[in-house]
Structure formats: structure tokens, C-alpha cells
Amino acid sequence: MKFINILTLVLVIVGGLNWGLVGLFDFDLVAAIFGGGSALSRIVYVLVGLSPQSGRSPRWSRRSAPARSPPSDTGSRSEGAA
């Protein structure tokens, strides 16, 4: 499972860098490396698009905090004191 998390992180970073380069310099890094419109570049685009979805539910449900019980009222106060 750790490999999937690392792969997902790498794909999200690659996607972010690629979109940053496209926005700033009109340069598509994935197309430059794998060829524009090639099957390999399309696979990379699909994996980058799916990578944020792969970790959504399991990661967030694991980190949710457990329910806390209310504090007990075990007395530092005495019943008869006013």
C-alpha cells in the first residue's frame, strides 16, 4: 500500500508541475517527454487525473479522530460546601 501512496504523490506532483509549466510558459512537459498525442502520454495524463481520487477515502477515514467520551465529574468538590 505504501507504493501506491508514493506513486500517487509523484503523479500529483508531476501533474501540478506540468500544469504550472503550461500556464506560465505554454510548455507541456509530458508531451515533450513522451510525444504529443502518443499513447504513452495519454496514459500518463489518465494516471495523473486519477491519482488524487485513489487516496481520497482511505486516507481521510484513517486520520479521523476517535470520538471522545465526556469528562467524568469525579469530585474535587464536596457536596456540602457552599
Give pLDDT tens digits for 1-11. 688 888 888 99
In a domain, 32, yes or no: yes
User: Total domain count for the chain?
Assistant: 1
Sign of the C-alpha dihedral computed for residues 37, 29, 20 and 48 taken in this order: positive
Residues 31/41, Cβ–Cβ less than 8 Å = yes
pLDDT-based confidence at 54, cuts 50/70/90?
Answer: confident
In a domain, 45, yes or no: yes
pLDDT-based confidence at 77, cuts 50/70/90?
Answer: low
State the amino acid at position 16 in one-letter form.
Answer: G
In a domain, 9, yes or no: yes
**Which range marks the domain in which residue 42 is found?**
2-55
In a domain, 60, yes or no: no
d(CA 9, CA 53): 11
d(CA 5, CA 77): 52
In a domain, 79, yes or no: no
pLDDT-based confidence at 52, cuts 50/70/90?
Answer: confident
Element (DSSP H or E) covering residue 76: none
Query: Is pTM, for the whole model, over 0.75?
Result: no
Give pLDDT tens digits for 14-35. 999 999 999 999 999 999 999 8
